């Protein structure tokens, strides 16, 4: 199982195009923010102290949330590739058990998601340093790592379910493009959740990875919000948090951090279970 996971890791990082396209959604978000969204968001808050740092922290939190999605999806491309090349049949005829193969794919995907997320966090810290912003404190860094592990776990579970539905590389490539494009919308990154219709807000609020984005925002934006809203009434701060997806409120209930963590864990269990059931049925 571990040897098989190592094999998948080597295959992924050996293919430079796979690594690049696994980061495509991140590059799209960065491009949109640099070219369009950044100026619009900052200009809408021109009277707010430290608006640039506040919005930079907001977008970087979003990037940390979607990186696990795109990278774990890219890593699971090995499953589709093995199916297309009939390599999976060779595995089945070997002494390796099916559950060990599935575990190998999942472990390698989780490791890839963690590695790429750590890389994204390092780039973000370098960006903050270059802009003259304060870096994350020791506690904030540990909190970020905790949310990152949880986000990778849930993203891996979701993408395992998605990939279990495909058999051809063309179908997988199409799905990857669609997911990479839409992930920014369904996590409230391209547009702040407060700028969308109520129906869209419900979709964002109940999409699991949006809760990872919310948790990342609470950490990365904590100090910038303290600076920007110093002396501001509590209702102004609350409205901003709801507008920007720092907090989610659905049906008059505001999700707490613990509830978001629980929701992500539940989603991971559900998606992994469904994905494993589908995979097991297809092998019968």
User: What pLDDT sits at residue 26?
Assistant: 84
Domain ranges, ordered by start, for the chain: 2-282
Least confident of 12-16, 238-242, 268-272: 12-16
Say how far apart CA 192 and CA 188 lie, in whole Å. Answer: 5
What percent of the chain clears pLDDT 90, i.e. is strictly above it?
A: 51
138-163 helix and 257-282 helix, angle to the nearest 10 degrees: 30
Average pLDDT over residues 239-246: 93
Average pLDDT over residues 110-118: 95
Global confidence as pTM: 0.91
Q: Could you read off the pLDDT of 227-240 as tens digits, one per residue? A: 999 888 999 999 99
Predicted confidence (pLDDT) at residue 162 exceeds the cutoff of 60: yes
The residue among 11 and 267 whose pLDDT is bigger is: 267
């Amino acid at each position: 199982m571990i040897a098989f996971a190592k094999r998948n890791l080597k295959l992924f990082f050996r293919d430079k195009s796979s690594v690049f396209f696994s980061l495509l959604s991140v590059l799209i978000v960065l491009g949109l923010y640099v070219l369009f969204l950044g100026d619009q968001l900052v200009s809408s808050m021109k009277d707010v102290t430290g608006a640039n740092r506040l919005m930079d922290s907001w977008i970087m939190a979003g990037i940390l949330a979607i990186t696990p999605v795109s990278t774990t999806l890219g890593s699971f491309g090995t499953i589709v590739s093995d199916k297309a090349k009939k390599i999976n049949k060779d595995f089945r005829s070997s002494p390796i058990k099916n559950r060990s193969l599935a575990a190998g794919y999942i472990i390698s995907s989780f490791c890839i998601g963690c590695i790429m997320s750590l890389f994204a966090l390092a780039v973000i810290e370098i960006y903050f340093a270059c802009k003259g912003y304060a870096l994350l404190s020791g506690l904030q860094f540990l909190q970020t790592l905790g949310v990152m592990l949880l986000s990778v776990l849930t993203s891996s579970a979701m993408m395992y379910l998605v990939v279990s539905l495909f058999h051809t590389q063309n179908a997988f490539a199409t799905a990857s493009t669609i997911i990479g494009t839409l992930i920014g919308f369904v996590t409230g990154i391209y547009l702040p959740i407060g700028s969308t219709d109520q129906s869209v807000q419900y979709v964002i609020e109940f999409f699991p990875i949006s809760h990872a984005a919310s948790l990342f925002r609470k950490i990365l934006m904590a100090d910038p919000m303290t600076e920007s809203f110093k002396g501001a009434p509590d209702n102004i701060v609350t409205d901003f948090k709801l507008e920007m997806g720092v907090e989610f409120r659905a049906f008059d209930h505001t999700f707490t951090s613990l509830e978001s963590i629980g929701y992500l864990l539940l989603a991971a269990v559900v998606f992994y279970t469904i994905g494993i059931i589908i995979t097991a049925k297809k092998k019968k």
